Amino acid sequence: MTSESFDSPRPRVYAHRGASAAFAEHTRAAYLKAIADGADGVECDVHLTRDQHVVLLHDATLDRTSNGTGTVADKTLEELRALDFSSWKGARIPEAYGGISDQFLTLPELLDILRGADREIGLAIELKHPSPYQLKLEERVLDLLAAEGWTPMDSRVDNIQVSFMSFDTDSVQRLLEDVPAGHVCQLVDNFTVQELRDELGLGPITAGAVANVLKAAQQEAERVLDEGEAGIAGPGIDYVREHARNVQRWLDAGRIFRVWTVDSEKDVALCQGLGIHEITTNRPAQVLAQLSVPSR
């Protein structure tokens, strides 16, 4: 079993991109706040820069979370460091969490922050695809971690328990060549044509075509979990609600469950009732407070 030890009476709480309800996602402030909130672990998304540095960003483009534009893969690390990745959130950053220029992070910098927690803490790394560098992303992440002292069998770096995640099944299969299944999470979600139209502004024909591609990816992800190739199941909370049979089957088969993104009291209660092992949330302090109250 395992991305971690699961003898805890409550689900473990992972901070989604850090405490990202409080501070801009993936920033130094968000991760320091998550540690201060008592999160059991943190989650991050990674991309490769043009000069092959592993950086923490969700989107393949810069427009949403910075004052820059263009794609991450086309920028050097130096170019990214010149951008502001925190002001868009509108949250005042405490002096102890650094200035605006300190907020952008590489993966090694996040490891240093987590070492500073001075306690056991989890790190869930999501490898983002499609990537123009394809599976070189996985190889670069694994090489970087090995240089930091990571060893595959226990998947640890000092006080940090590392696990890996992707929606992309090719990414998961590449990771499984070097990482035990108990530390690899196959992410899975369900998509509808209407959701794609609403979220991406697509027409019905284009949205239908995209939905067919995503549906095929979803089915392949479900196969990976059905066959136990990955030891951790990573469904979205909507998937948990809408695919109860799959969830129960995978739980019965011993898959560890890491559900995202769980922010409401109702969804936290649902996960707790189902026996979900790990909850990923933008609001770690709030979720931890709810989980600390004995159920009646």
pLDDT in tens, 250-280: 999 999 999 999 999 999 999 999 999 999 9
pLDDT beyond 90 at 225: yes
Query: CA–CA distance from 11 to each of 58, 83, 157, 222 (Å)?
Result: 25, 37, 23, 23
The first and second tokens of residue 126, run together, are 């999501």
Is 4 part of any domain? no
* Secondary structure (DSSP) of 233-251: EEEBHHHHHH-HHHHHHHH
Number of domains in the chain: 1
Is 109 part of any domain? yes
pLDDT of residue 245: 96
Report the 10 Å Cβ neighbour count for 277.
23
Per the CB < 8 A criterion, the answer to whether 53 and 136 are in contact is no
Identify residue 255 by its one-letter amino acid code. R
pLDDT beyond 70 at 12: yes
What pTM did the predictor assign? Answer: 0.94
pLDDT beyond 70 at 213: yes
pLDDT beyond 90 at 294: no
**SS3 of 247, please?**
helix
Q: Which residue has the higher pLDDT, 290 or 194?
A: 290
Q: Which of 26, 47, 53, 58 is catalytic?
A: 58
pLDDT tens per residue, range 42-53 = 999 999 999 999
Q: Taking all residues of the chain, what is their mean pLDDT, rounded to a whole number? A: 94
Is 144 part of any domain? yes
Torsions phi, psi for 268 (to 5 deg): -60, -45
Active site residue 16: yes
CA distance 20 to 162: 20
Is 296 part of any domain? no
What H or E segment, with its residue span, contains residue 12? strand 12-16
Domain that holds residue 186: 12-291
Identify residue 261 by its one-letter amino acid code. T
Q: How far apart are the first and last CA of the chain?
A: 29
CA distance 58 to 60: 7
Could you say which DSSP state residue 148 is in? T
**Residue indicated by tokens 């890996």:** 164
pLDDT tens per residue, range 66-123 = 999 999 999 999 999 999 999 999 999 999 999 999 999 999 999 999 999 999 999 9
**Residue indicated by tokens 């998550």:** 34
pLDDT tens per residue, range 171-204 = 999 999 999 999 999 999 987 666 656 666 767 7
Is 56 part of any domain? yes
Is 70 part of any domain? yes
Q: Which residue has the higher pLDDT, 193 or 16?
A: 16
Q: Which residue has the higher pLDDT, 211 or 67?
A: 67
Peptide bond between residue 294 and the one before it cis (omega within 30 degrees of 0)? no
Domain of residue 41, CATH code: 3.20.20.190
pLDDT beyond 50 at 5: no
Is 188 part of any domain? yes
Is 203 part of any domain? yes
Q: Which of 16, 47, 129, 243 is catalytic?
A: 16
